[in-house]
Structure 1
């Protein structure tokens, strides 16, 4: 059976990844595994906005997005970061094709519930998975920038974790891998932070409520929950700096934090 997975990675995280990581990606592709990459680029967007003198702020971890900010978001994500990733993959021997959610109406979106407060930030309503299937069928790794579009042509800034979860759900892949700069979901045990090898959706909700999961990790686990509610079997949060992490996450396990569907607690 064909093996596929969706990988989400921040733009700054990808830029810092060693060539060995991309070598793993090449080997996986050559062995018949079909990866799909959805990327972010928050720090690069903030840096560019600062250079242009455009103010930026966040509401509950999501960037407040007006027309000026949206232009920069699209320029940085679809123009700069997307092509940097495609080049990096290509120079390490794999084949990639970059696009944004606007291309072919790939990622269809609508305004988030608090749009009046946060601007042109979107929730995903549909993914044209046939476009992704076609790119994979030609032997390329799809590299997707998370910009959404609606029927009127309005663009939306989509949180990359949310976009990756939606792509994974619509593709029906077995596994989504979130590559970050942390080794997984951390829990304080006896005064020390330890990586949780496995966690259920119920436990995630409890950790968010208690404040153990906070900040930028919340959208990651929220996207994982949305994804698991579809046809995805598990989501793995890993550090891209660990040797062999991609191959281990795809084939062997035992790395990072596996997020799995809730199971009924035993009394």
Structure 2
């Protein structure tokens, strides 16, 4: 922002997710390089991504950087192959409105 650019941040949470799933007794499984996500794991996935998103936004704000958490309403997806990959999806549409609203407010959108 100090140089006139406002980035859009899209983050993951792989290591934190691995740790939380292991603590819940859910073994990590990958097929074709994709993490298989079971229905029981999905709640943990959502929680971990939300936690990491808020941590990142808070860290940016602590450095006097305007940042906005954008956790929903951006990506529309369909299941990739539910039998093979579980709850894993493929993004089919991106709604830019929440991202653009953050940018118009001079804030970095942080997406999970």
**TM-score normalised to structure 2 length:** 0.94
Which structure 2 residue ranges, 5 or more long, are not aligned?
Answer: none
State the match for 2:15 in structure 1: 43
Q: Which has the higher contact order (CA 8 A, sep 6+)?
A: 2
Which structure 1 residue ranges, 5 or more long, are not aligned?
Answer: 1-28, 146-267
Structure exhibiting the larger radius of gyration computed from Cα positions: 1
- 1:80-120 CA-to-partner distances (Å, cap 9, x unmatched) read 110110011111121101122xx2x21000111x3311111
1:14-25 map, 5 Å: none
- 4+ aligned runs moved over 3 Å, structure 1: none
> Which of 63, 88, 92 is matched with 1:92 structurally?
63
Distance 2:39 2:82 in 1: 13
Equivalent residue pairs, number: 112
Distance 1:82 1:99 in 2: 8
1:62-73 map, 5 Å: 62-73=34-45
- 1:50-91 CA-to-partner distances (Å, cap 9, x unmatched) read 11112221111111111111111110012x110110011111
1:1-267 map, 5 Å: 29-78=1-50, 80-100=51-71, 103=72, 105-112=73-80, 114-145=81-112
**TM-score normalised to structure 1 length:** 0.41
CA contact (8 A) 1:56 1:69 kept: no
Distance 1:61 1:139 in 2: 37
CA contact (8 A) 1:108 1:125 kept: yes
State the match for 1:170 in structure 2: none
